[in-house]
Chain A
Amino acid sequence: MSQDLLFQILVGAFVGAAAGYLGSFMVVKRMSLVGDAMSHVALPGIAVALSFGLSPMLGASIALVLAVVGVWYLQETSEIYPEALVGVFFTGSLALGILITPEAELLEALFGDIERITRLEGIIAIIFSVFILIIATVISKKLILGVISEELAKSTGVAISKINLVYLLLVGAIVALGVKFVGTLLMGALVIVPAASAKNISRGLIGYYLLSVLFGVLSAVTGVIVARNFNIATGPAVVLVSIFIFVLTYLFKTKSNEKTLVDIFSKKR
């Protein structure tokens, strides 16, 4: 195995771990669409950065910070979460991004190209992934309490709106990191799918977190190796591996439903 491949696998593992962990909150917060939509916002940012000769990752980050603040503002100021509005706004930015991205760079921006990742970019991705894992762990209890009930969380002194902002910023960060890895179109999947798979077969929170991270890492690592061996693009390979894991866990979930007969029985009393 070449040193380059090893490095790519390492970067993929860290990004996959952080994406999976963040996804675990996104799935139970029922904001999967937001994750997907946010990944599209990166594109116009990349385009603008490229036309000014700046780093695409930087452009993506700036666009994402703006999007995060926008989503957060909508969440805080309206009683009903305007999901349709988010959908409209973000697909709009994807369309705009496709138009203004130089054609030579479009494919890479859309689907990523980990083979062209530099050492510096890789190391930055690893460091940021570790940061994301740490900060997400610090706010995890508050986030989950907010999932149960925002009012209950507030009544126990959790500044839920601040916590939501921090969380969205973390999502923005992981999307920016993943752009180089699986591309803007598919980064949402690397956040959502591992957690959705983990949810299929988890009973408790700790198992759910661990499986989300594990499936994220597994998808990324296997995807990179498969892509290299079959000479295909990395992004689609990573996402297809994660979908394969999802299908497996889904089948397992349906099968294990028989077990929960005990639960149904004891619930009926």
Chain B
Amino acid sequence: MEPGILLRVKDLKVKFDHHVALDDISFEVKKGETLAVIGPNGAGKSVLFRALLGLIPYSGKIEWAEDIDVGYVPQRLAIAKDLPLTTEEFFALKEKNKKEVRNALTAVGFEEDKPHKGHLTHHVLKRKIGVLSGGELQRVLIAFALLGGPEVLLFDEPTSGVDVSSEETIYGLLHKLQEQKGLTMILISHELQVVYKYATTVICLNKEKVCFGPPREVLDRESLEKLYGGEVGYYRHG
């Protein structure tokens, strides 16, 4: 693969039993890009992610650059409130070095004494992971993905599960991470404003690839109508 290209997908097709979930998908991702994956419900966005991560069988080609480490932030984890696992222990499932864990937590905006003394230790790390708020859990999952220093972050719907008031900070945070760590980002999003603001490239999916390119160039009325079937206004609510 040419230098600068991190991921190349060619003629990707995913079938479940007799149902085609994705067909004829080809695209490339360059280093440092933010690729947004958009499309209506059931368009195969999460299926694409699962194929990229090698979790499901597919036909066609998915090529990652050599020795690349991919971090994955899953969508809407339903963790039972009474699961006896503290956040600290959750991190220890992947990384023993507590300093590394602290660094990852700092990177996603946690501070030990904010908003009050010992907050991080007592209200996040020592608590059961199932009782964290949506926003806290999302940041914890990003920190978890950052452990091990991945070059690429796959992010399944960053806003889901986060309070509306902190939505902006999650995207701001991702943007900051990208600049600091030179991360390449692939994210699924429902919100077109976010795509316009943060994505360098967008891929529109509706089982097949409907559009691909810089958002301002490819997200015209025609492709959006093709994608969402004339319900664009609804999806613009953000």
Contact = CB atoms under 8 A, between A and B. Distances in A.
A144 interface: yes
Q: Main secondary structure on chain B at its contact with chain A? A: loop
Contacts, number: 65
B83 A206 contact: no
B94 interface: yes
Nearest to A206: B89
A266 B84 CA distance: 19
A6 interface: no
Given A145-B93, A151-B50, A156-B94, A202 B72 contact: no
A151 B123 contact: no
Interface string A192-215: 000000110011111110000000
Interface string B67-110: 00010101001011011111011101110000000000000000
B131 interface: yes
Contact of A155 (B55, B77, B88, B92): B55
A119 interface: no
A267 interface: yes
A152 interface: yes
B45 interface: no
Nearest to B85: A205
A103 to B, nearest CB: 44
A117 interface: no
B128 interface: yes
B133 interface: yes
Given A154-B53, A154-B55, A204-B89, A147 B74 contact: no
B87 to A, nearest CB: 10
Contacts of B128: 203-204
Nearest to A260: B131
Contact of B55 (A151, A205, A207): A151
Interface in A140-157: 141, 144-145, 147-149, 151-152, 154-156
A106 interface: no
A204 B85 contact: yes
Interface residues of B, number: 29
B53 A199 contact: no
A144 B53 contact: no
B127 interface: yes
A227 interface: no
B133 A267 contact: yes
Contacts of A266: 123
Nearest to A153: B93
A113 to B, nearest CB: 35
A28 interface: yes
A207 B84 contact: yes
A203 B86 contact: yes
Nearest to B46: A151
A258 interface: no
A179 to B, nearest CB: 29
A263 B133 CA distance: 11
Given A147-B83, A156-B94, A267-B131, A205 B77 contact: no
Given A148-B129, A203-B128, 4 more contacts: A28-B83, A154-B54, A199-B82, A202-B84
Which 7 pairs show the lowest CB-CB distances between chains A and B?
A208-B84, A155-B72, A202-B84, A204-B86, A205-B89, A145-B93, A141-B93
